[in-house]
Structure 1
Amino acid sequence: MPAYITKQPSCSRAGGRLRRVLAVGVVVLLTAASFGAMVVAAGVIGRPAPRPAASATARLPTDVAVIKPDVVAAFITGRDRQMYRFIFDWLETPTFSCGDLRAVGSESVCFDAPLAPVTTGCLVYSVGVGADWSFERQMAARGCEVHLFDPTAPMPEGAAAAGIRFYPWEVASKSIWIGERLRLTLADIMTELGHTDRRIQFLKVHDDNAAMRLLLDQMTSSKNRFVLDQVDQISIALRLPIYMLQHDLRINMEYDLLETALGRAGEVGIRLVRSTPFDQVRYWFPGVERAVHSSYHLLMVRTGRDTLDRIDRNQKNFRLLQRTWS
């Protein structure tokens, strides 16, 4: 027997066994604890990180939700600031003064010549029924041919008797059947109704999604026929995408395309008559230097000089892609 191993007295053998059993138990417990920790860690790693709590300064005790520019300075370039400034300056700065602006039901209509809806041949398109269709009813009473489009609501009671024609169609950027719902572009709607060679005196688009789709389709894509030059007055309820406020205000394609669309609207002669926000919350955008809204009711008229290059409509904006993958 080696000298460094001491023979245990017989009276302590039971205690030795007990110590060995306890030692094995401790090892088992430690192993189980380690394995459990690994499982928990794997679960934590596998789940998305929890969203950080909103900053105490992100919302003021007023109607302004502030996303301060210094919070996102690391992600916003000078070009981005110019883009946001251009968009909100365009949306909030009227560029045409209508001398004879009248309330017709729920809408404001410019009756300056030659924009005034005339009785003979007056054509009105209205996208989105809503609860108030007094505008459509009054325009029909004036002798206008009124067409109402909404796939989500039934025809308003009394609309047919008022001479209003109703279609459960959705205005989209591509004409296609989705289930039982028919989506049509504005150009295809005009073709379907035999209005290809007619002017639309008033186009009302109060479907939030349709308003953005219409602007981007007509101004930034050449896939569909350009028809906004056949429209005299446009009333749209434009709701800007604000989900990007949760992503550090990084540039996104919708705002990038919206900047292009608004710029080209000016080139086609469209001027802003009235801008009325219809949301209660305001936001700070980098480069804008004032609190702005995310939803606007816009009245626009086509009265300026048309300089839009129709071929240029299909040019893609690669600034986002270049910045994302460079």
Structure 2
Amino acid sequence: MGRERLTWGLLLRVGVLLTGLCVCVHVYLETGWRGTPAPLGRPTQDSQNWSQQSRTKAEAEEQERSIERRISDVRTLKKDSQTKKEEDKEEPSPACCPPLRSHRKTPRWHIDLEPWAAVSHSLEDEAKRFLSYITTPQVSCASLTGDEAAQEGTKGAWVACLDPKFSLSHRIQSKHCRVYSFGLGVDDRTLERSLSRAGCEVHCFDPSLKQPHLQQADMWLHRLSIDWRDPNPAFVAQRQYAITKKLATILNDFGHRQVDVLKADMESAEWKILENLVLEGVLDSVGQLLLELHLHWAGFEVGGDDPSVVRYWFSLLKELERANFRLFHVHSDRAKPHLFLHKNVLNASSVYTLSWVNTEWKP
């Protein structure tokens, strides 16, 4: 009995020791697997690898944060730049210099009509003011080209001013003179030949020509005429060639910015053409304007009673004066009937040739 108790006690002790040993081994293995720091002394290989991985991960995170900060800075700068631009647009700072003047004035819709000549609004009062205006030169010209035609009283009596106080003579000397001549059929071209011999580049426009463009002697001939409106595009496509255009369109098509002398005999279309030149500001491109006026009727697309028509004529010529044009020569064709709107008013001729010079012409 005593020996059996000794045996069971020994077995119990051995079992307790084995259990404790297992527990110790288990604890040791768990602690080593989770990366418990090694004891003081030389680091193990596992601890070195873990430390290196930690540093690499920290550096990567720091680099990522640096990139994010730079992206954020760029976005902030871009946003600030856009905000500044918007503020500049809303409140522009004063410029150091005045803006350049545009070559062409802003187009207008109608001319400014002058006040009536008298309270009565009568044809006689309007005609008296108008005829006095077109027969009174406003500036003198010491030298005229085409004088011989004016003295002989030939058709048109076209003259240009070569006075040195104006620009045409200087333009001729520098070989930069350009002339546009508009007419219908074979017209008197004494002035054009004279200016061509002087060295001007002369373009004659006649819609009755058979060829679109033709060079004759020292002049260019074009199958084209001036109008107060451009043709309908469908009409042009049908005919393949437009024979009438506005002066602004012709200048653009030919690549010309200015014309030193513009001569026009448009057979009663001159009033609407002159109105177009005024409204579109094309007069700034003209140095001298030579125009034949036809007074026997109102003219194409000019409406109203007789006093209103004459008031409209007078207002157009006053627009020329406001554009710095001054009348320097007048020629009355006495061979023409003395008709003024189908009446004999103040014994006026039905045709007058007027010559204006742009006193502010500086091409």
TM-score, normalized by length of structure 2?
Answer: 0.52
Aligned to 2:159: 108
Aligned mates of 1:153, 1:90 — CA distance in 2 = 36
Aligned to 1:194: 255
Aligned mates of 1:195, 1:203 — CA distance in 2 = 13
Offset of residue 301 of structure 1: 1.0
The one of 262, 271, 282 aligned to 1:203: 262
Question: How big is each residue's C-alpha offset from its partner over 1:145-187, in whole Å with a ceiling of 9 and x where there is no partner?
Answer: 11111112457xxx72423222211211111155644321111
Offset of residue 189 of structure 1: 0.8
RMSD: 3.3
Aligned mates of 1:243, 1:202 — CA distance in 2 = 26
Aligned to 1:147: 203
Q: Is the 1:101–1:110 Cα contact (8 Å) retained in structure 2?
A: yes
List gaps (5 residues or longer) in structure 2. 1-117, 150-157
Question: How big is each residue's C-alpha offset from its partner over 1:245-291, in whole Å with a ceiling of 9 and x where there is no partner?
Answer: xxxx9436643421220111111111111111224332578xx9832
Secondary structure, aligned partner of 1:215: helix
Aligned to 1:268: 323
Higher helix share: 2
Aligned mates of 2:298, 2:316 — CA distance in 1 = 20
Relative to structure 2, which stretch is displaced further, 164-173 or 130-139?
A: 130-139
% same residue: 22
Aligned to 2:295: 240
Aligned mates of 1:253, 1:130 — CA distance in 2 = 34
1:183 alignment partner AA: T
The one of 268, 277, 280 aligned to 1:218: 277
Secondary structure, aligned partner of 1:209: coil
List gaps (5 residues or longer) in structure 1. 1-75, 306-326
Aligned mates of 1:93, 1:136 — CA distance in 2 = 26
Question: How big is each residue's C-alpha offset from its partner over 1:38-74, in whole Å with a ceiling of 9 and x where there is no partner?
Answer: xxxxxxxxxxxxxxxxxxxxxxxxxxxxxxxxxxxxx
Higher strand share: 1
Matched residue pairs, number? Answer: 217
Aligned to 1:52: none
Secondary structure, aligned partner of 2:274: helix
Change (3 A) 1:143 1:242: same
Q: Is the 2:298–2:309 Cα contact (8 Å) retained in structure 1?
A: no
Is 1:172 the counterpart of 2:215? The answer is no
Aligned to 2:352: 296
Question: How big is each residue's C-alpha offset from its partner over 1:169-218, in whole Å with a ceiling of 9 and x where there is no partner?
Answer: 1211111155644321111111111013xx31111102223422321222
Aligned mates of 1:212, 1:154 — CA distance in 2 = 28
Change (3 A) 1:291 1:299: same
1:96 alignment partner AA: V
2:352 alignment partner AA: Y
| Structure whose alpha-carbon radius of gyration is higher | 2
Aligned mates of 1:147, 1:105 — CA distance in 2 = 22
